[in-house]
Amino acid sequence: MVNHSLTEYDLQTGKILDPFAGVGTTLFAAKELGWRPYGIELLPVGNFVMKTREAVSNIHLFELDNVLRTIWDEIATYRDYSVYINHIPITRYAFPLETERLLNMYLSYCERILNEDLKCILKFAALSVLEEVSYTRKDGQYLRWDYRSQRSLSAKKPFDKGRIKPFKEAINQKLYQILNDLRIERSEKIPFEEYPQEQPITLGQGSCLEHLPAIEDNYFDVIITSPPYCNRYDYTRTYALELVLLGHNDADVRQLRQSMLSCTVENKGKVEFLKNFYEQRNNGAHFHKVMNVYHSSKAMEEVNLVLAELNTLGKLNNSNIPRMVKNYFLEMCFTISEMFRLIRPRGLCIMVNDNVRYGGEEIPVDLILSEFAEGFGFNIERIFVLPKGKGNSSQQMGNFGRSEIRKCVYVWQKI
């Protein structure tokens, strides 16, 4: 999408921002085209993947090859280990005992490596095989557990994920795959002189609600992003194993969940935090401007009223959905206000997002966010509706029938 967007609108190189950078797809694609990329990402998993992508570019293949030849001989000499996975409640008993022992020894080996790029690649390989070697499988926003784990599981039909690879087999396969892929990539690489001049990626780690206000006005030429959707998806549960491997404890994960854009029913409102945040920056006027844009939206008002009524009638499967939706749009309103401030006149903001449905009622995310954008001064150039929409959940399908929800790409231009 990045290549298409930049080509479609005949955009020349400049400064590009992705405030929800994920694993850096927009940033790395823009970098290859000669843009100067800036990103913000809250989830440590995304930040680690981006760090690994940079490490892969720097690593000498003979160093990686040498490690692969000797790694298990060195690990075999260990009598104990200095690093181990400190499980949180939702990851406990995720691995067979022998797998966890070898995984901890492997991580301890990684910590002894002085070359930071090499260390990063080795840890990334372990991150990549966690599902293959564990009793879990990602299933929506949760982990699905194999019947062989020691966890107490429901009495429903037991889940059998099939063969669970031994850790040594899985990690060796992944490491040699990385090595071989790098050999192929470097043998096929276009001569350096034919590349656009690549700029380094500037990355802010944390919430865009806090990072964006610190950047100067009219700084970016283009913004391309895809924020979390308003769909109850909890990334801290989906990537729980990855988070504990990266050293995050239960308190870290809980804090991370609350720092995310409000897209789960567990998120608490951030309005008081935002009010204090802007006042401390001597910009309380901006806070009140955003609140006025939010409260001026008739569509937003209608959505909040409908969800409150559905909640009263018991038609929502979680009573916190109205609060989540309200806070999601409010936080997106603040984000859009900052994106407008940061983009230069005539600059473009291109955003991917999906509409959602609760209690059988579709919420027009595309129209509400575009209404906010207009309120701050964007001109709505286009809203592309993708040919294939998103189906509703099996639960909603059973209650309200099958219905396709719009998946859209918004194009806004600063007037």
Helix (H) or strand (E) segment spanning residue 378 = strand 378-385
Report helix, strand or coil for 363: strand
Longest dimension (CA), the chain: 68
Let me know the angle formed at the C-alpha of 174 by 172 and 180, rounded to the nearest 5 degrees. Answer: 100
CA separation for the pair 302, 275 (Å, rounded): 24
Q: Of the ranges 13-22, 89-98, 403-412, which one carries the lowest mean pLDDT score? A: 403-412
Residue 275 CA: distances (Å) to CA of 28, 200, 259, 289, 303: 34, 34, 16, 11, 24
Mean pLDDT of 351-371: 95
Portion of the chain with pLDDT greater than 70, in percent = 93
Chain Cα centroid distance, residue 284: 30
* pLDDT at position 31 over 70: yes
CA separation for the pair 321, 271 (Å, rounded): 17
* pLDDT at position 193 over 70: no
Count helices and strands in the chain by DSSP H and E runs: 18, 13
**Domain spans, the chain:** 2-42+206-414, 51-187
Report helix, strand or coil for 17: strand
Let me know the angle formed at the C-alpha of 60 by 30 and 115, rounded to the nearest 5 degrees. Answer: 95
Kindly report the backbone phi and psi dihedral angles of residue 32, in degrees, each rounded to the nearest multiple of 5, phi listed first.
Answer: -65, -25
Give the CA count within 13 Å in the CB-facing half-sphere of 326: 18
pLDDT recorded at residue 157: 83
**How sure is the predictor about 198, in pLDDT bands with cuts at 50, 70 and 90?**
confident
At 279-309, the pLDDT tens digits run 999 999 999 999 999 999 999 999 999 999 9
The CATH fold of domain 2-42+206-414: Rossmann fold (3.40.50)
**82-102: burial string, b at 16+ Cβ within 10 Å, e else:** ebebebbebbebbbbeebbeb
Mean pLDDT of 374-394: 80
* pLDDT at position 378 over 90: yes
pLDDT recorded at residue 191: 59
Q: Of the ranges 9-13, 47-51, 88-92, 248-252, which one carries the lowest mean pLDDT score? A: 9-13
Please, what sign has the CA dihedral across residues 318, 409, 379, 347? positive
pLDDT recorded at residue 403: 67
Please give the residue that has the higher pLDDT: either 291 or 155. 291
pLDDT recorded at residue 129: 98
Helix (H) or strand (E) segment spanning residue 142 = strand 142-145
pLDDT recorded at residue 394: 43
* pLDDT at position 264 over 80: yes
